[in-house]
Amino acid sequence: MTDRARILHVVGSRPQFPKLAALRRALREHPDRVEERVVHSGQHYDRELSEVFFEELEIPLPDYNLGVGSGSHAHQIGATLKGVTGVIEDWRPDQVVVYGDTNATLAGALAATQCRVPVAHVEAGVRTGNLFQTEELNRVVTDRISTSRFCCTELNLRTLEGEALGDGSLFSGDTMLDNYRHFLARMDVGILERAGLRENAYVLCTVHRAENTDEDTRLAEVIDSIEAVQREIEQVVFPVHPRTRSAIGRIGRQGKLEAAGVKVIDSLGFQALQALVEHSRLVLSDSGGLQREAYFGGRRCVVPWEYASWPELVEAGAALPGPVDPASVLSRVNAALDASPLSAGPAGLFGDGHAGRRIAQRLLEALDAAP
């Protein structure tokens, strides 16, 4: 069926798989109009960070895996750029789609643009204002060279308009909200029993940002803060990203969190993590995705990071970013727990749960209009 439009999705790491799943669900409704393939850079290769997501999110395994693996940004971006370029030259897609702000996002957008294939960026217009932060650099460059940009919030769209990138940009809503609703009934509540947790009686903690893990003093502050929450406020459960696990070993703190009573567990797939968010008392995380998932589930998120990547959530009182030292983190955790229950916030802040459909529709229109 050569007359169907060809869409190539480029992904590589954990946060991209749910976004891919939401768009694929929507595109699946148009089998006569599109043919899809997925290229995975191989940046995330552990089963729990990759394959599990494809299974739980019910999307086919990638058609290509570039096997890029771990390494410097230069290595990951360079190897992905080369690999995706090869796939584009071979399969000749009409449209490339990239997601979020990782090295695969930037490399996919560069490869497509160099091959003169239109690029769509899902989760466009997010800014922290610090170009020395890798994800910010990835976002800014990707937005600049994309031909379509899909925004989770109105603010993201206004940001793009302020950068003279309003043409080709759309407030689609957040694909993460699509997934939150789609999978809510199927979340893995058994994780609470397996981890020995009681509903509404634990703080869910995740830490993975390079800014929090790569520098010893900073990481020690993060760990001290987690121990302080465990000691003074509430049971903490801490699914640990591999980057963070090895960083904790590097500063000789392995075993210390467990000794303090923190439940340290391996990183989790989509359905178990969703269940832990949904039944938590509070979330403590530097993940931009988890901040939104906490909000969708009516939970506040204390962010061990100074940047507000989602100012909308800060304004709604749902995300509390700030300094990373035990006193500041404890004070934000207490403030979050003392606050009245989170109100729903402005209706439709992250769209209506149909972002995937809206993105699919816009892509199909653009493909139909293409010469």
Interface residues with ligand UD1 (CB under 6 A)? 13-15, 43-46, 49, 70, 101-103, 134-135, 208, 241-243, 246
Which phi and psi (to 5°) does residue 171 adopt?
A: -80, 100
173 versus 289: smaller Cβ distance to ligand UD1: 289
Least distance in Å: CB of 196 to ligand UD1?
25
216 within 8 A of 250, measured Cβ to Cβ: yes
Least distance in Å: CB of 330 to ligand UD1?
26
Cβ neighbours of residue 340 under 8 Å, at least 6 residues apart?
none
Least distance in Å: CB of 287 to ligand UD1?
7
Q: How many CA atoms lie within 13 A of 238 on its CB side?
A: 27
318 within 8 A of 300, measured Cβ to Cβ: yes
Nearest to 73 by CA among 110, 46, 39, 121: 110
35 versus 135: smaller Cβ distance to ligand UD1: 135
Least distance in Å: CB of 335 to ligand UD1?
26
Cβ neighbours of residue 349 under 8 Å, at least 6 residues apart?
153, 312, 316
Least distance in Å: CB of 308 to ligand UD1?
16
49 versus 342: smaller Cβ distance to ligand UD1: 49
254 within 8 A of 358, measured Cβ to Cβ: no
195 within 8 A of 169, measured Cβ to Cβ: no
135 versus 293: smaller Cβ distance to ligand UD1: 135
146 versus 287: smaller Cβ distance to ligand UD1: 287
